Amino acid sequence: MPVLLSSFYFFYFAIVGVYIIFMPKVLSMVGYSASDIGIIFAAGPLVRFILPFAFTRGLKLNTRSFNIAIFIILFSSISFYFSIDSFYKLLFSNIGFGIGLSLIIPYIEVISLKTIGKERYGRVRLFGSVGFVLVALVLVKFLSSADIALNYLLVLTFLTAIVAFIIAKKTNSNSEKVQEVDNDISLFLDWKLWVGLTLMQVSFGAFYNFFTIYETDYGISMDMTIYLWSFGVIAEIFMLFFQGRLLRKNLLLILQITTSVTAFRWFLIFLFPQNLTILFFSQTLHALSFALFHSAAISYLYNLYKHKSLAQQFFSGITYGLGGFVGALYAGYVYELFPRYLFLSAAIIALMASWFLYLWSKRADILRASN
């Protein structure tokens, strides 16, 4: 099973690499405006935001819905060929692709934790980062047309679907049991926490959706831009291996620090968009702004709430889903109207995230004192 799971993560995050790094550039190549690209890439995160609420209303993530998700993602990857020249067709293809990605990964995550345990999970998951880097380094050498990127996307989706189907077949139905726990999550009472976590992902809209376009527009070669992406992922891998001791510290303080560091990271890109030394340094901060932030956030929510599985679904749906949706949308319009200030705006949003988490920490201190 570890080999199958490692293969799944490798292919799945290779898809993510094609989707995040190259697809925005592909759409730009075929004539889409920055705002159009922002709207199209906001569709996937929006789906990710909606789905967790469906699970609170009776939808079950079981073998049947998983197999449907596999079909949806395969169909959507094929439909890209026929929708690339039509905004609305491409938007619907992207929505379908987002549904498939959003349903497949949590199902496999449950199987991973059940079959290999949390101790070995990180090392298996790291194959996803390897897949992300390799597809970036390979595809940059061959990306001369939209069809090439779509071919990579289709092949990787097909391989992911095959491995995912085999994993599901090999897993018994016990993985489909749902933990019966009262919902103790109050988004309204804890709004400062959730706003802070979400704003962090909103700030990433500039990076995930427009970093490639932004740097190449400033004269950085496509090859060098991919090296920058890859360098950030290598920093991420390094942090994932060695962050265990840090996660024993004050998790809320780590969240405040990592959001502040992220604001500094975006500010550096704004000030020095053509300085490769500073750009590579800013990418080392991905170890903090993604790897450490993500691990600290899911660990903090795990400790904070009793309904642990729903807390993780909301984290994925609200922060990465709603945050990614708003981030893609805002970044598209800012880059179209004020391209020079895209990463300055991202830095301000990340600072706001840090501020809300600081306000939440004060409330958390009061609650601890009252108990």
Q: What is the CATH number of the domain that holds 300?
A: 1.20.1250.20
Q: Are residues 69 and 203 in the same domain?
A: no
Q: Are residues 76 and 171 in the same domain?
A: yes
Q: Are residues 140 and 227 in the same domain?
A: no
Q: Are residues 338 and 282 in the same domain?
A: yes
Q: Are residues 166 and 254 in the same domain?
A: no
Q: What amino acid is encoded at 54 in this protein? A: A
Total of domains in the chain: 2
Domain boundary (175, 208, 231) is at 175
DSSP at 18:
I
Residues of the chain predicted below pLDDT 70: 55-62, 110, 113-114, 116-122, 140, 143-144, 172-184, 307-310, 364-371
Domain boundary (111, 143, 175) is at 175
Domain boundary (175, 201, 220) is at 175
Q: How many distinct helices (H) and strands (E) make up the chain? A: 16, 0
Q: What pLDDT does residue 105 have?
A: 77
Burial class (CB in 10 A: 0-12, 13-18, 19+), 58: exposed
Q: What pLDDT does residue 309 have?
A: 63
State the Rg of the chain over Cα: 20
Q: What pLDDT does residue 46 have?
A: 78
Cα-flanking dihedrals φ and ψ of residue 269, to 5°? Answer: -65, -35
Q: What pLDDT does residue 283 have?
A: 96
Cα-flanking dihedrals φ and ψ of residue 243, to 5°? Answer: -85, -5
- Which residues contact residue 198 at a Cβ distance below 8 angstroms, ignoring those fewer than 6 apart? 318, 319, 322, 323, 326, 353
Instruction: Give the number of other CB atoms < 10 A from CB of residue 88.
Output: 9
Q: Are residues 51 and 91 in the same domain?
A: yes
Task: Report d(CA 229, CA 21) in Å as an integer.
Answer: 8
pTM over the 0.95 mark: no
Q: Are residues 159 and 195 in the same domain?
A: no
Q: Are residues 124 and 226 in the same domain?
A: no
Range of the domain at 121: 1-175
Owner of token pair 């071919």: 151
Q: Are residues 215 and 124 in the same domain?
A: no
Q: What pLDDT does residue 110 have?
A: 67
